[in-house]
Amino acid sequence: MGKDTNARIAVKARIELAEKYFAEAKEYLTKSDAVQASEKLYKAVEECIKALAQHYNMPEHQEAVKEGRWWIQLLGKASRGLSRELKEPRITDVWSRAYDIHVWGFHETKYTIEDIKEDAEYVDWLLNYLTFSTAKAGRFPVFSLRLHPTGFRAVSRPGHNALSAPGYGI
């Protein structure tokens, strides 16, 4: 297997892991477990940032490979770099939200379900943005977009309103 094939497999695995964490987060939200929901939402965003950074071969990804792990500052820098490169400031916004709930919802256990439940919509947006970005590049099967009164919505992932968190419609 070539280097490019291995990268595609790794990105796809990260997408699947992010989807798994997001599904778990939604379960914890329905159970009103703010601590675990916070952690799973954060982990979903973390995997999205890593996947995007690898997909676009960002310097932070290269440094993480060299270091043998992702450090928190690399994730923050990657989100900022991706926002700049892709001209999509919402990436940094979602990362900031995820880091906030990671610290205050998970580690410090200060947030309630009411404090974090809207963050799930932003995580969903990033996950769909990642899926759309990688599909657009021809790396994974393209999902269809349907016109909706507030913009286009992807329909490949049942139960998701792709690319449409509050204020995030396309």
Please indicate, yes or no, if residue 144 is contained in any of the structural domains.
no
pLDDT score recorded for residue 127 = 96
Q: Is 154 helix (H, G, I), strand (E, B) or coil?
A: strand
Residue type, 39: E
Which residue intervals of 31-164 are DSSP H helices? 34-55, 59-67, 72-86, 90-101, 113-116, 119-136
The pTM of the full predicted model, rounded to 2 decimals, is 0.80
Please indicate, yes or no, if residue 150 is contained in any of the structural domains.
no
Please indicate, yes or no, if residue 169 is contained in any of the structural domains.
no
Q: How confident is the model at residue 157 (pLDDT cuts 50, 70, 90)?
A: very low
Contact 11, 54 (CB under 8 A): yes
Please indicate, yes or no, if residue 94 is contained in any of the structural domains.
yes
Please indicate, yes or no, if residue 167 is contained in any of the structural domains.
no
CA 102, CA 98: separation in Å to the nearest integer?
Answer: 6
CATH number at residue 86: 1.20.120.330
- Give the alpha-carbon dihedral of 139, 141, 146, 151, to 10 degrees: -20
What total number of domains does the chain contain? 1
The strand pairing partners of 146, in sequence order, are 153
Does the pLDDT of residue 5 top 90, yes or no?
no
Nearest of 86, 159, 80 to residue 129 by alpha carbon: 86
CA 97, CA 152: separation in Å to the nearest integer?
Answer: 24
Please indicate, yes or no, if residue 102 is contained in any of the structural domains.
yes
Please indicate, yes or no, if residue 131 is contained in any of the structural domains.
yes
Q: How confident is the model at residue 2 (pLDDT cuts 50, 70, 90)?
A: low
Please indicate, yes or no, if residue 147 is contained in any of the structural domains.
no
> C-alpha 170: how far from its chain's center?
17
pLDDT digits (tens, 9 = 90+) for 14-45: 999 999 999 999 999 999 999 999 999 999 99
Full domain range(s) for residue 64: 3-139
Higher pLDDT, 98 or 167: 98
